[in-house]
Amino acid sequence: MKTVVEMMRDGVHEDGIRRAGEILRKGGLVAFPTETVYGLGANALDPEASAKIYQAKGRPSDNPLIVHIADWESIGMITGELPAQAKLLSDAFWPGPLTMILKKSEAVPDTTTGGLKTVAVRMPDNAIARALILAGGGYVAAPSANTSGRPSPTTAQHVAEDMDGVIDMIIDGGAVSIGLESTIVDLTEGIPVILRPGYISQKMLSSVVGEVRMDRGLLIDDPSVHPKAPGMKYRHYAPRAPLFIVEGERSRVQEKINALTAAEAAAGRKAGVIAADETSGGYSHAVVRSVGSRGQELSIAQHLYAILREFDHMEVSVIYSESFETPQMGAAIMNRLMKAAGHQVIEV
């Protein structure tokens, strides 16, 4: 299959959106930018179209998809009874990087929800995404547009690496603004539960709906406790080289990483280091990549997946990363980094 690339880095092009919408209406696949990561879109109400997504990604079909809508009025058709919290959270955070788990209606096919009786719904805040959803019929199922097991794409180039020749179209809207997938909150059981941390933090959610919990499967490192979002149980992404997070006091972390990378160099190998602007100058014997300044959470989130992809293209033997606990997005950043590291942490 020839994958068409539609350039929209300078904004929405109506003719390109019309062609993309037509592909979706006919049951095809279009990758598009959102504010979080690039999505791989299909008509969410067409069982065959959403089934194609699993094939393109090589993703297990019990892992449900998020249905993207462009306006609040669209939610009634795909959901059952709506808790009051849904409207409150929508008013506060939609359009934006928040996904709500709600009871599903008959209109949503099992291929979209992986057989679950609930549906994940999100209204993205990206002009291209919103125009595409409307042009495609109002309901676009879209997981991240990566091959299963690779980091989510934050540029159209990343999407092309994984999807060229496999899908109908890629819309290039430039680099995304957030860089980590949306926060997922489950509203089907009374007290809201965060199933996946993201830009919208527990504190921000609580300020609107009161008590909000974290899924136990996210908090404890015990494989017998299953996370409630089916996708969170998969070892999402493992870099080619083993990845270790080094935690502790700033100067001791730097000392430890330098000792480890020196040992690699002495053995004739090259290590990779993930650091912040404040510390990236302090490493030797290694390929160093900075996620940006520690004071700029968005910069850290924006660069993380691209750096992990870059290290996959290089011949590094091992990767050491500093830890990035930050006030708002720290939980999300460390959740993704820990998954990539397979929870390997070196404490100093």
Report the nearest approach of Mg ion to the CB of residue 26 (Å): 25
Is residue 149 a contact residue for ligand TXA (CB under 6 A)?
no
Q: Is 254 a residue that touches Mg ion (CB under 5 A)?
A: no
> Which residue sits closest to Mg ion, CB atoms considered?
144
Q: Are 210 and 285 in contact (CB under 8 A)?
A: no
Determine contact, residues 3/166, Cβ cutoff 8 Å. Answer: yes
Residue 151 or 272 having the CB closest to Mg ion = 151
Q: Which of 28, 197, 217, 231 binds ligand TXA (CB under 6 A)?
A: 231
Q: Does 144 bind Mg ion (CB under 5 A)?
A: yes
- Rounded to whole angstroms, the Cα distance separating 240 from 269 reads 15
Whole-angstrom Cα distance, residue 98 to residue 125? 10
Does residue 95 interact with ligand TXA by CB under 6 A?
A: no
Bridge partners of 119? 102
Task: Single out the segment in contact with Mg ion by CB under 5 A; choices: 45-53, 142-150, 221-229, 327-335.
Answer: 142-150
Residue 50 touches ligand TXA, criterion: CB under 6 A = no
Cα gap 291→280, rounded to integer Å: 9
At 289, which helix (H) or strand (E)?
strand 286-290
Q: Is 61 in the site for ligand TXA (CB under 6 A)?
A: no
Q: Which of 63, 13, 68 is nearest to 45 (CA)?
A: 68
270-309 residues in contact with ligand TXA (CB under 6 A) are none
- Shortest gap between Cβ of 299 and ligand TXA (angstroms)? 18
Give the Cα separation of 142 and 99 in Å (integer): 12
Q: Which residue is nearest to ligand TXA (CB)?
A: 231
Rounded to whole angstroms, the Cα distance separating 12 from 292 reads 29
CB 185 within 8 A of CB 101: yes
Contact between 116 and ligand TXA by CB under 6 A: the answer reads yes
Residue in the structure block whose two tokens are 């606990």: 325
Nearer of residues 128 and 275 to ligand TXA, judged by Cβ: 128
Where does this chain bind Mg ion (CB under 5 A)? 144
Where does this chain bind ligand TXA (CB under 6 A)? 34, 36-37, 39, 63-66, 99, 101, 113, 116, 118-120, 122, 124, 142-144, 181-182, 184, 195, 228-232
